[in-house]
A and B are shown apart, each in its own frame.
Chain A
Amino acid sequence: GAVVSQHPSRVICKSGTSVKIECRSLDFQATTMFWYRQFPKQSLMLMATSNEGSKATYEQGVEKDKFLINHASLTLSTLTVTSAHPEDSSFYICSARQGDNEKLFFGSGTQLSVL
């Protein structure tokens, strides 16, 4: 089946630094990728939707200047958390969709800890 690789799986950084998370579709072209955030014991919350070659669409309440999303190719989307703060600590998951197929394939997630 289709595989989505998310890297890194875990990152610890100092407050004020930026962190980049990569999401790659390994065996299919992902026209749409989604980025989610999961707080402990809570559900996934959609942060943004990115389509290849265009600007990401952010959900209400998500700061686009803080969470930079780039979807420059059909197999790669990146989420950069800029000037990270402890409250940004969370589990981030990406998912990818091929064409109009509703089925999504998920990465294994990235646990971000900001000290």
Chain B
Amino acid sequence: AQSVTQLDSHVSVSEGTPVLLRCNYSSSYSPSLFWYVQHPNKGLQLLLKYTSAATLVKGINGFEAEFKKSETSFHLTKPSAHMSDAAEYFCVVSDRGSSNTGKLIFGQGTTLQVKP
């Protein structure tokens, strides 16, 4: 069965400094992995996704994530944080197992705080 663990519930960075949001996954199959962002009172927005192509995935707003099979990790990074990046971030794995439902399994979320 698939599962996702986001290692930090809360991350605080200063504006202009790098961002690292950590995510580890467990999957019996070749997983599809996603990062979603949720701003207050808004719906989820897809930042990027990995689907067995290039291991380094570039997303929107300067974010990128690297799929490391040996470490079962899919950490999200950004070289320089912006105030508008403050939000809740979810690491997600797609349950593509034998049922092929495409159901998403969410991590617990990481709150990113950006200080001026």
Contact = CB atoms under 8 A, between A and B. Distances in A.
Interface of A: 4, 6, 9, 32, 34, 42-46, 49, 93, 95, 97, 100, 102-104, 106-109
Contact of A104 (B42, B46, B51, B101): B46
**Chain A, interface SS category:** strand
Contact of B104 (A9, A46, A108): A46
A47 B104 CA distance: 11
Given A93-B44, A103-B49, A104-B46, A32 B102 contact: yes
A102 B90 contact: no
**Chain B, interface SS category:** strand
Contacts, number: 50
A107 B45 CA distance: 10
Interface residues of B, number: 21
B46 A108 contact: no
Contacts of A42: 108-109
11 contacts: A43-B106, A44-B44, A44-B90, A46-B104, A95-B104, A100-B102, A104-B104, A106-B45, A107-B43, A108-B43, A109-B43
Contacts of A9: 41
B94 interface: yes
B49 A43 contact: no
Interface in B62-116: 90, 94, 101-109
